[in-house]
Every structure is written in structure tokens, then in C-alpha cells.
Amino acid sequence: MLIYFTIFSVFVFSVIMSAIVGFLVYQTGYRFLPSTVIRHILGIGVAVLIGCLMTNLLLFGIWYFYVAVIGVAIILYIVFIKSSINTEQR
């Protein structure tokens, strides 16, 4: 039972960290990149790279963890972007 909790917590940690780092790269892109498309692509790319790196380091490279971490991290990244756009419009 403890192994499932450990795997789940590592999964959640990897997803949250990769989405946050991708979002931070997107936010810092305002100073350097004029195009929003390039910022989105760069943010998603960093989220994918960090997700792969974290999964490789923490879960020993099991392929389906890569897919799950990257998929959920991109969804969380999009949620972060949408919520930041909504707070800027208020």
C-alpha cells in the first residue's frame, strides 16, 4: 500500500513542478518575446522537458509515466494560462 502512495505522490509532484516551471517560462517571456504564440510554445516545451526529466529521475523511465505526466502537466499548464488571463481582464 505504501508503494502506491509513493508512486502517486511522485506523479503529482512531477506534474505540478513541470506545469509551474512551464508557466513561469511563459510569464517571463513577456519581457523577451513579443509574440504570444512563441511564448505558448516555449512554455509547453519547457513543461514537456521538465516532465520528462522529472519522470526519468524519479520513476526510472517507465514509458507510460512519461505520457501521463506530460499529458496532465500540459492540461494544468493550460489551466494556469486561462486563470492568469482571467485575472488580467478584471
Residue type for 35, please?
A: S
Q: Which cell numbers hold the place of 88?
A: 488580467
**In the prediction, which pLDDT does 24 show?**
93
pLDDT of residue 61: 63
Rounded to two decimals, what is the model's pTM? 0.83
Torsional sign, CA 36, 41, 46, 48: positive
Average pLDDT value for residue range 2-22: 88
